[in-house]
Amino acid sequence: MESTGTVGRVLPVVVNDRESETRTPANALYRIPANARDPFTACPPLPFMRAGENDLTRLAPGRPRAAGEAIAIAGRILDEDRRPVQRTLIEVWNANTHGRYSHGIDAGRNDAPLDPHFYGFGRIVTDDEGRYAVKTIRPGAYIARRDIAWWRPPHVHFSIVGHGVRLVTQMYFPGEALNEQDYIFLIVPEAERERVIGVPAGSIDGDRAFQFDIVLRGRSQTPPDLDHMS
């Protein structure tokens, strides 16, 4: 018995193919309720990569630069055996220099000003050595809970999709006093906290640079963001 595939190929179909049956969902799919979704997860990927998406300091090439200090972040995406993860998608997002996200939900809880020249979201694809580089504005701190005076330190969000997994993590900046008062940072075991802090790496094209390598899984996995709603 044969069936024509969607790309014009003729594919064999075996009656009572138990392997195919085990790959089929046993239950009907259902839509995730809106209130169960993460409001600060990066936007769905666009159908194509635009030029300059790894430069968050401008809305588009040639546009005015956003306010604040421009910084460069570069590193490698690695698997559990420290091998490079090639051609994998990285999404990056962070608050502006005033500590405000370009997100509707943040408008209801944050009175810091928006920057008309800063969107705060970009994408990169790693090269054959698992390397990436992104340019952004160093984010400002912001208050997450006024009732307990909880301020979030400057941080940059990363979402990596590769090798069948998705890892969401945050890069913190060294020497920030607010790091040791941040509940999300303190969730990370103390012995592993240095792995979520960017390493000063001189400068790139005149911008202060940080190295931030990310391990997707395994014993040396970069600690995930266990509360990436903030």
Domains annotated for the chain, with CATH where assigned, are 42-215 (2.60.130.10)
> Residue 7's pLDDT is what?
54
CA–CA separation, 33 vs 149, rounded Å? 31
Query: Which one of 98, 100, 101, 132 is the catalytic residue?
Result: 101
Token pair recorded at residue 96:
């502006």
Q: State pTM to two decimals.
A: 0.77
Backbone phi, psi, residue 40, to 5°: -110, 10
Query: Is 101 tagged catalytic?
Result: yes
Lowest mean pLDDT among 50-54, 118-122, 202-206: 50-54
Under the banding of pLDDT at 50, 70 and 90, the label for residue 47 is: very low
3 state DSSP class of 182: coil
Query: Is 152 tagged catalytic?
Result: yes
For the segment 30-50, the average pLDDT, to the nearest whole number, is 58
Does the CA dihedral 226-227-229-230 come out positive or negative?
negative
Asked whether residue 33 carries a pLDDT value surpassing 90, the answer given is no
> Residue 70's pLDDT is what?
97
Under the banding of pLDDT at 50, 70 and 90, the label for residue 77 is: very high
> Residue 44's pLDDT is what?
47
CA–CA separation, 164 vs 216, rounded Å? 10
Query: Which one of 76, 98, 138, 152 is the catalytic residue?
Result: 152
Lowest mean pLDDT among 1-5, 13-17, 193-197: 1-5
Query: Which one of 58, 76, 100, 157 is the catalytic residue?
Result: 157
Query: Which one of 58, 76, 100, 155 is the catalytic residue?
Result: 155
Burial of 45 (0-12, 13-18, 19+ CB in 10 A): exposed
Query: Which one of 58, 76, 98, 142 is the catalytic residue?
Result: 142
Sheet holding 165-172, edge to edge: 121-125, 89-93, 155-162, 165-172
| CB neighbour list of residue 9: distance below 8 Å, 6 or more residues apart | none
> Residue 162's pLDDT is what?
75
Query: Is 157 tagged catalytic?
Result: yes
